[in-house]
Amino acid sequence: MASQVGSPEWLLGVWVIAGLITVIGALVNSEIAAMIPEAGGQYVFFDRMYGSFPAYLYGWAVFAVLKTGALASLAFIFAQAATQFVALPELAPSLAHWSLRVPLIGDITPLANIGGKGVAAALILVLTAVNYLGVKFGSAVQNVFAVAKSVALLLLISLAFFTPGIGQAANFTTQSAAINLQGLALIAALAAAVQGAFWAYDGWNDVTYLAGEVKQPQRNLPRGLIGGGLIVMALYILCNVAYLYVLPIDEMAKSKLVAVDVVEKCFQGGGKWIAIAVMVSTFGAANSNVLAPARVFMSMARHNVFPRLLGNVHPKFHTPGTALWVQAFWSILLVLSGTFDTVTNTLVFVNWIFYAAGAYGIFVLRRKEPNTPRPYKAPGYPILPWIFIIFAVTFLVLTVYNDFSGYFAARAAGQPARNNSVFGLLLVLMGTPIYFLCRTRSTVR
């Protein structure tokens, strides 16, 4: 993000803007979540707003890339951090470098980093087993690691500010010597940078998937959405202020692991401390991507738009056991694909299509169901929902512009070209036959 915008003010501005938009989304979503406190979250909301097929497309996207892709990426980052402590085995170079070129994605190297991919797959299986044993068990793990990673971030922030002689306030206003963007180039760079911030903030609405298992959902869902969003926003902004205090923007732009470089300036061996913090953080984040989405697939199966087997609930543990293991299997396949940059960029783009549609749904529901009780009403209606929608559409348009520009530039240079937005849309539409097949079977029965 630093290399994209080249300005400390714009870098912090991106985090603030993305955080505020996320909180506005939480405010809007809170009204709908309190109104429809059912397991399945956004999928159930879309079913009420727009009908069965649009709801299915959302649920399919969650399965195909949104949450399984996030889980795969987080598990692999966990594995990469683990290499600070353990040397993972690798295949011979002739096998590791074998690749398969896929249109719009680029080269896939399933055998590269096989040791890291093995650790990532093992983490997914362990977390799936934890959540298979009960929502209380999975939630307890989530709570412990949410606190642990917040403490780790606060320690990192404290080290940056209170270690003598390593930081300077001038970094907050010193512009990049190499990057000086203006006009449309700056707008495109901001859109690309905000994509990274949205990836970090993503998951803010996951609690709605568990609405059917939350105590007093009309009260606790809005509190979780809004309170969680504000806390995460504050942590991320403080963290980036700490990074900038220690590293000038150009040094940050060249860094591969900013947090490691910051802590190494505080004390020698800080890289291993950061590796532990990354493992704690990604463990908790990966757990949330196991815990919540399986409820979507269970709800879809019960609405006869997904294989019925995924609607089964374990008789003893009362969890969507089959959905959890199918989710794990697909996530492990995404791990093996190794296309994490493509997956993360794709899921941010696709997610924001549905975030925009979900925010517009507040207008749809107020028109379709004016008399349905609303225990919580979104403040600032209709202005805040429209701010969120306009921002989301603008972000999507700029992302498409960046993707096509990069695609044609790569083609012109004779390099592998990929277009994340087109790939994301195709991935969502690919699930269409499953919908009609399941509906036909349901009708025949």
pLDDT reported for residue 171: 92
**Tens digit of each residue's pLDDT (9 = 90 or more) over 368-412:** 999 998 888 888 899 999 999 999 999 899 888 888 888 788 778
Q: Pick the range with the lowest mean pLDDT from 7-16, 83-92, 288-297.
A: 83-92
Alpha carbons 182 and 195: distance in angstroms, whole number: 19
pLDDT reported for residue 212: 65
Q: Is the pLDDT of residue 431 over 60?
A: yes
**Tens digit of each residue's pLDDT (9 = 90 or more) over 192-226:** 898 889 888 887 877 777 666 677 777 787 888 88
The whole-number average pLDDT for the span 279-288 is: 88
Alpha carbons 352 and 421: distance in angstroms, whole number: 11
The whole-number average pLDDT for the span 323-340 is: 85
Alpha carbons 406 and 191: distance in angstroms, whole number: 14
pLDDT reported for residue 370: 93
Sign of torsion, CA 427 428 431 432? negative
**Tens digit of each residue's pLDDT (9 = 90 or more) over 218-259:** 778 788 888 888 999 999 999 999 999 999 999 999 988 888
* 152 against 407, higher pLDDT: 152
Q: How many domains does the chain have?
A: 1
- Tell me the residue range of the domain where 367 lies: 2-444
What's 183's domain CATH number?
Answer: 1.20.1740.10
pLDDT reported for residue 103: 62
pLDDT reported for residue 48: 93
**Tens digit of each residue's pLDDT (9 = 90 or more) over 11-67:** 999 999 999 999 998 888 888 888 888 877 788 899 999 999 999 999 999 898 888
**How many residues are listed for the chain in this entry?**
445
* 104 against 137, higher pLDDT: 137
Q: Pick the range with the lowest mean pLDDT from 40-49, 62-71, 91-100, 173-182.
A: 91-100
Residue 181 phi/psi, 5-degree rounding, is -100, 145
* 409 against 361, higher pLDDT: 361
pLDDT above 70: percentage of residues in the chain: 92
Cα–Cα distances in angstroms (integers) from residue 379 to residues 25, 27, 28, in the given order: 11, 7, 8
The DSSP line for 57-123 is HHHHHIIIIIHHHHHHHHHHHHHHHHTTTSPPP---HHHHT--EEETBTEEE-TTTTHHHHHHHHHH
Helix (H, G, I), strand (E, B) or coil at 125: helix
Q: Is the pLDDT of residue 104 over 60?
A: no
Alpha carbons 303 and 298: distance in angstroms, whole number: 9
Q: Residue 401: what residue type?
A: Y
Q: pTM of the full predicted structure?
A: 0.83
Contact present, 102 and 364 (Cβ < 8 Å):
no
